[in-house]
Structure 1
Amino acid sequence: MSTYTSPTSVAAHTANTAAVLRITIVAAIGGFLFGYDSAVINGATSAMREYFGVGATALGSAVASALLGAAAGAALGGRLADKIGRVRVMRIAAILFLFSAIFCGIDPFFGADQGGFYWLVFWRVVGGVGVGVASIIAPAYIAEIAPADIRGRLGSLQQLGIVLGIFASQIANRIIVALAGSSDATWLAGLPAWRWMFLLCAVPALVYLVGAFLIPESPRWLVQQGRRDEAMAVMTHLQGEGPAQHRLSIIDRTLDTEHKPKLSDLAGKALGLKPIMWIGIGLAALQQLVGINVIFYYSNQLWESVGFQESDAFTISTITSVTNVVVTLVAILLVDKIGRKRLLLIGSVGMALTLGTMAGVFATATVTDAGPVLGDVAGPIALVAANLYVIFFGISWGPVMWVLLGEMFPNRIRGAALAVAGFIQWIANWLVTVTFPAISEISLVLAYGLYAFFAFASIFFVIKAVRETKGVELEDMHD
């Protein structure tokens, strides 16, 4: 951030930091919907399997269907945002969320037959496109409006929104099950309780849609479109006149050397891509290959499979979500103080140890016709290890990956680079999600052993490849 320190600009900076925070929170509602929409199905999986009469593979496809939509949304979102603006794309994402919530909750055509299952999958994909778009736009938008000295904390609000969304879905699902009696019971308006889990997502979708009409467009995008006066007005409101003039002069200088971003800009000599792109791809893929979303998508089913009752499984999942929220808040406090790279290393080591412990614990489980059963000692150890794993992920790879993707790429390739990295992140998410039911039926030891391997690999990746970006202006990022 500029060192401009006149009395008037300092006072303005204090007030405008609050304005930047408000705008960032609106953008981060996309993260909330991302978390809610992707995790709400956790409480519905068992009921859906019974309702539609599908097997483990089909169930995995239904859970993962939103992720394929998200991959498409991430691939298209960056380029669309470069064309029509960040805020307009947020509005599109909100509308997609809204329609997905309504039609996953209400099936006017097919009901419980196979057609109804495919209808649900279709609308999960539509919601997934909204998720993918929001996941790419929020980090870019936040990075473009935030002062460098607090950019990490503001960028981390995207992950805070995600974990709050996951937590809210767990609470909503628990309340619905408590009121209806079970997730497959018929409840309000004659709908199964699990349908209401999806319908409730319409509320935050509406909030996001309204909020997206109340925030300004990215100043950098406005300058790129030749609307410099509008950009100056936004930046002056957010940072004061002196810092705004300084920041816009830097943006002008960088845009003079740029052209319209396209995928070919990412080409390089390192196996066809620029080295910075491989780092972004590695970050995006490893964040998912450590298996974090298995905890949030399948935790109820997992804990029921090893002997816990449905109500106990909901309680455990809720505790896990609360833990994730708390540690994300800790990460927000630390990311601009101790840096991105150090947090990633702490998380990688912790995840490798805890996932290895979970694999070892499940190796001791007694296998019955109903599935593996943990003993009186192994059960609590698995619970502690799972929550410690969430702590290490939540303080590191959860928020820091999004912060780095939002800020690590040079301005001239940021849109295209985010699209590719976001696509890879969602494909990796889909791969883990769709394969877990089948792998877990073979062996939970194999599943958690694989995730432990990728966590271990991430240690060396961070040491060798990741560069620290703390305090560096976006205009100073390079290949």
Structure 2
Amino acid sequence: MGTTPGGQPPPSESSQPPGNPAQQIGYATPSTGRTVLVAATAALGGFLFGYDTAVINGAVKAVGENFGASAFVLGFAVAAALIGCAIGAWFAGAIADRYGRIRVMWLAAIAFAISALGSGFSFSIWDLAFWRLVGGLGVGAASVIAPAYIAEISPAYLRGRLGSLQQLAIVTGIFVALLVDYALVAGSGSASDPLWFGLDTWRWMFLSLIVPALAYGLLALTIPESPRHLVQKEQLAKAAEVLRRFVGGDVDAKITEIIRTLRGKSERTGFVTIRGPKLGLLPIVWVGIGLSVFQQFTGINVIFYYSSALWQAVGFSEQNALAITVITSVTNILTTVIAIALVDRIGRKPLLVIGSIGQFVCLGVLALLFGTAPIVNGAPDLGSAGPIALVAANVYVVFFGATWGPVVWVLLGEMFSNKIRAMALSVAAAAQWLANFAISTTFPALSDVGLGLAYGVYTFFAFVSIFFVFKYVKETKGRELEEMA
């Protein structure tokens, strides 16, 4: 272990005075800009994650018409990506532990590119569903590896902000996909009309994913392997160099601490490492699953998947409904920037509590307005309450985007110990995708009964999430990864 000039062992980063601990005497002083660039490269997986899940929006109607698919089959083709996401997330951790974080990024990029080509040249709805599932494998893998890698390559004082880049990349990917869909349709006139080389526009929407997929794969070649994985593989010299360049602090002490926290890992691999006495899993893994499920069960993806149709159903024109959807997407980006500014100042747990309370109030307003509105032509007529519902929905997105959206990814990347991080994150991310699938597929049925019921269900989960955070979530702000139990 290194010592200070006075001969005393240097304190841990978590006990350093405010500011950059890498500036303390005897500590390595990495370039913050270089660390940010590496984290941003890893977060490109989140961009592809958002892009892939949103690009279908502009194509879905044309796809159904082209293949003559029933509503059920078309819905399955869309949902196939979410199934692939759960599978990809489930296995990403084991692959990352065995072969490294960077190789999982390469595999994800390959899956994205293959999915783009297959979907763009698909010849049947079932063929398209298969390629969407392949893309989902990449999305699921990226959703696991980006937060894990960013947490492992970041100094503690920056980890929250850099971890939030994952969510910023996701929402930016969603926004860019919507813009690309809009631009392609503007060029051809319709998603069903041919564009370049006689290919229908909807096919180009899928093919456009190749560009960010290639960028992700190529940039992943330029960043180093996670120092925690390198220590696990006993490549200590390489690990020390990565820590020195990107993390800083007392590198020898960090290596020693990582070795200590990984002790015994070689004897227990795979999902065995996260088994515990409570329902078969370690308690901390259940907390991660709970965070993932609550992030989805407050209905955020209903806003993004169904918002255009929802606003049309309650009286807004198609053009205004699309404009509202774009505004909502931009709002989500801006609020994620707010989270980046606050997460290392306020902390993770306070932000989650604030988000839960805010979402509960906004969703409660929506449930009340939709539940009490008269039904006209099969849809609730909000009348003069329409603007109130619009404000409540967008304020809800503000609370989600500034808290639960990015903070859950930050926590999932840092709350688990070195021995179980990749595997535990895999399980939590798989649970998140399954929760996403459940919410997305049940919303139409719930809304048929009544939008008041649908939003009432989401309000209930937002309320429960307040107590979940208070009781089970521990603050990780400023703590080293090696301090995580």
- The TM-score normalised by the length of structure 2 is 0.91
- How far has the Cα of 1:135 moved from its partner? 0.4
Q: Which amino acid aligns with 1:57?
A: F
Q: Which moved more, 1:230-239 or 1:149-158?
A: 230-239
Other-structure match for 1:295: 303
For residues 301 and 387 of structure 2, the distance between their equivalents in structure 1, rounded to whole angstroms, comes to 21
| Amino acid paired to 2:119 | C
1:364–1:374 CA contact under 8 A, matched in 2: no
Q: Secondary structure at the match of 1:270?
A: coil
SS at structure 1 position matched to 2:160: helix
Following TM superposition, by how much is the alpha carbon of 1:126 offset from its aligned partner in structure 2, in angstroms? 0.4
Q: Unaligned stretches of 5+ in structure 2? A: 1-11
Q: What is the rounded CA distance, in whole Å, between the counterparts of 2:23 and 2:435 in structure 1?
A: 48
Aligned 1:377-396 pairs, distance under 5 A: 377-396=384-403
Please identify, of 383-392 and 179-188, the stretch whose mean Cα deviation from structure 2 is larger. Answer: 179-188
Q: Name the SS of the counterpart of 1:412 in structure 2.
A: coil
Task: Give 2:176's aligned amino acid.
Answer: A
What's the CA shift for 1:412?
Answer: 1.5
Which residue number in structure 1 is paired with residue 278 of structure 2? 270
- Give % identity: 54
Q: Does structure 2 conserve the Cα–Cα contact (< 8 Å) formed by 1:153 and 1:336?
A: yes
Distance 1:5 1:129 in 2: 38
State the match for 1:31 in structure 2: 46
User: What whole-Å deviation, never above 9, does each CA across 1:317-354 have from its counterpart, x for those lacking one?
Assistant: 11111000000000011111111111001111111111
SS state at 2:422 partner:
helix
**Which of 253, 262, 267 is residue 255 of structure 1 equivalent to?**
262
Shift of 1:376: 4.1
Q: Evaluate the alpha carbon distance shift between residue 402 and residue 433 of structure 1 in structure 2; reply closer, same or farther with a 3 A threshold.
A: same
1:454 aligns with 2:454: no
Cα deviations across residues 281-318 of structure 1 (Å, max 9, x unaligned)?
A: 11111111111111112222323333434333322111
Match of 1:184? 192
Pair 1:216–1:327, CA change in 2 (3 A): same
Partner of 1:158: 166
Query: How far 1:368 sits from its partner (Å)?
Result: 5.0
User: 95, 98, 111: which one pairs with 1:80?
Assistant: 95
| Aligned residue number for residue 113 of structure 1 | none
Consecutive unaligned residues in structure 1, runs of 5 or more: 111-115
Amino acid in structure 2 at the alignment position of 1:58: V
The one-letter code sitting in structure 2 at the alignment partner of 1:118 is W
Confirm or deny that 1:316 pairs with 2:324.
Answer: yes
- Is 1:34–1:134's contact at 8 Å kept on the other side of the alignment? yes
Aligned to 1:440: 447
2:479 counterpart (461, 472, 476): 472
Q: Tell me which amino acid in the other structure corresponds to 2:295.
A: Q
Q: C-alpha displacement at 1:60, in angstroms?
A: 3.0
Q: Distance in 1 between matches of 2:426 and 2:203?
A: 32
Supply the distance in 2 between the matched residues of 1:408 and 1:285 (Cα, whole angstroms).
16
Rounded to whole Å, the distance in 2 between the matches of 1:243 and 1:418 is 27
Which of these residues, 90, 102, 109, is aligned with residue 94 of structure 1? 109
Question: Residues 261-283 of structure 1: CA distance to partner in whole angstroms, max 9, x if unpaired?
Answer: 33223222323322212111111
Match for 1:128: what amino acid?
Answer: G
1:372–1:327 CA distance, 2 compared to 1 (3 A): same
* Aligned partner letter, 2:251: A
> How far did residue 392 of structure 1 move?
0.7
Number of residue pairs the alignment of both structures matches: 467
Partner of 2:350: 342
Cα deviation for residue 8 of structure 1 reads 7.9
Of 80, 88, 96 in structure 2, the residue corresponding to residue 65 of structure 1 is 80
Provide the C-alpha distance between the structure 1 equivalents of 2:243 and 2:413, rounded to a whole number of angstroms: 19
Structure 2 counterparts to residues 114-193 of structure 1, below 5 A: 116-193=124-201
Letter of the structure 2 residue corresponding to residue 285 of structure 1:
V
User: How big is the shift at 1:6?
Assistant: 6.6
Alignment partner of 2:251 out of 240, 244, 257: 244
CA RMSD of aligned residues (A): 2.1
